[in-house]
Chain A
C-alpha cells in the first residue's frame, strides 16, 4: 500500500503570514507530486506540481521536494483569507505524459484569519 501522510491540522495562520503544509510518502519510486486545493463542498483544483528535487515557485506558492527524505511541502506566502481551504497532497509513480493513478493524502485544513 502506498501511503501519503499529511498533518490533518487544522492549521491556522494570520493574514500575511507564511503557511507551511507538509506531506510525506512511502513509495520511493514516486515521480510526480501534486498539491490540490479543495474548498468546502467543491472539487479539488490543481495548484502546483513538481517533479524534481528543490523548489518550484508560482506566484505566492512554492513547492519543495526532497526525494531522499520522501518529503514534499507547500509554502503559501502572504496568506489571504481566500486561501482558507483543505490542501491535498498527491503522489504518482508516473511522470509527464505517462498517465496513471494518484495517491492522495487526507488533506490539511488551512484557515487564514484576517
Chain B
C-alpha cells in the first residue's frame, strides 16, 4: 500500500480481555516501530523490529504486552488482560533500509479504549 496501514482504527474492549492490533508497513520497509500515545502525552516507545527480530523491546510496559512480526511485513501487537491504563492510541511506524529514523512514516493509529 501507499502508507502504513493499521487496523482496527478504533477498538473498545472490556477490561480483562485480550486485544490484537495490526500494522502493515510500507512495502520494502525493514524497520517497524510501535509507539503508544496516551491522551495529552507524548509518544511512548514500545518496541522496534528490524526484519522479524526485535533488537529493542525495552519499552513494553509489562509482560501483558507482546509483539511479533512476520518477515519484513505485518506486525501484531497483543495486549493480554487489558487494563484501563492501556487506553491510548497505538501508533506504528516503518522506515526503509538506510534511512532509519530520518524517514519513519507513521500509520493513523489504533485508538484503544478499555472500559
Would you list which residues of chain B between 56 and 86 have a CB under 8 Å from chain A?
Answer: 56, 58-59
Query: For the complex, what is the distance from the CA of A102 to the CA of B109, rounded to whole Å?
Result: 17
Q: Interface residue tally of chain A, by bracket?
A: 20 to 34
Within 8 Å of chain A (Cβ to Cβ): is B100?
yes
Query: For the complex, what is the distance from the CA of A44 to the CA of B106, rounded to whole Å?
Result: 6
Query: For the complex, what is the distance from the CA of A72 to the CA of B108, rounded to whole Å?
Result: 27
- Please tell me if the beta carbons of A100 and B48 are within 8 angstroms of each other in the complex: yes
- Known A34-B101, A43-B91, A94-B100: A101·B59 in contact at CB below 8 Å: yes
Query: For the complex, what is the distance from the CA of A94 to the CA of B103, rounded to whole Å?
Result: 14
Would you list which residues of chain A between 72 and 107 have a CB under 8 Å from chain B?
Answer: 88, 90, 92, 94, 96-107
Would you list which residues of chain A between 28 and 67 have a CB under 8 Å from chain B?
Answer: 32, 34, 42-46, 49
Specify the main secondary structure of chain A where it touches its partner.
loop
| Chain B interfacial residues counted at CB < 8 A | 30
- Known A99-B95, A104-B42: A94·B101 in contact at CB below 8 Å: yes
- Please tell me if the beta carbons of A43 and B107 are within 8 angstroms of each other in the complex: yes
- Please tell me if the beta carbons of A45 and B106 are within 8 angstroms of each other in the complex: yes
Query: For the complex, what is the distance from the CA of A94 to the CA of B42, rounded to whole Å?
Result: 20
The distance from the CB of A110 to the nearest CB of chain B, in whole angstroms, is 15
List the interface of chain A (C-beta within 8 A of B). Answer: 4, 32, 34, 42-46, 49, 88, 90, 92, 94, 96-107
